[in-house]
């Protein structure tokens, strides 16, 4: 357990190290998820348009 506490403490630099990692992965995740969501929305829209056209 002490090991874990040491790990999270990062030798007294916890707020620096963990904030750097948190920001990095938040930005990287966002840059993957936003285009995926946009792409899905566009596919849905195009399918709807297609169904209207064949009717």
Partner 1 sequence: MAWKWFHRLGSPPYFYRFAGVLAPWTGWICVGLLAAGLYGGLVQAPPDYQQGDSYRIIFVHVPSAWMSLFVYMVMAGAAAVSLVWRMKLADAVVASAAPIGAAFTFIALITGSIWGKPMWGTWWVWDARLTSELVLLFLYLGLIALRNAIEDPRSAAKACAILATVGVVNIPIIHFSVEWWNTLHQGPTITKLGAPSIHTSMLIPLLIMALAFKLYFVTALLIGVRGEILARERSSTWVNELSEHT
- Out of 1, 2, 5, 36, point to the residue binding partner 1 (CB under 8 A): 36
Q: Does 12 bind partner 1 (CB under 8 A)?
A: yes
Q: 10 with 17: CB under 8 angstroms? A: yes
Query: How many chain residues interact with partner 1 (CB under 8 A)?
Result: 28
User: How far is Cα 15 from Cα 23, in angstroms, rounded to an integer?
Assistant: 12
Do 42 and 35 touch, CB atoms closer than 8 A?
no
Asked whether position 27 contacts partner 1 by CB under 8 A, the answer is yes
Residue with tokens 């999270």: 8
Q: Which residues bind to partner 1, rule: CB under 8 A?
A: 7, 10-13, 16-17, 19-21, 23-24, 27-28, 30-32, 35-36, 38-39, 42-43, 46-47, 49-50, 54
């Amino acid at each position: 357990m002490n090991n874990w506490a040491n790990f999270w403490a990062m030798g007294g630099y916890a707020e620096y190290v963990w904030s750097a990692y948190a920001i990095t992965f938040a930005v990287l995740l966002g840059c993957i998820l936003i285009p995926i969501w946009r792409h899905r929305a566009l596919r849905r829209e195009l399918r709807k348009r297609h169904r209207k056209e064949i009717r």
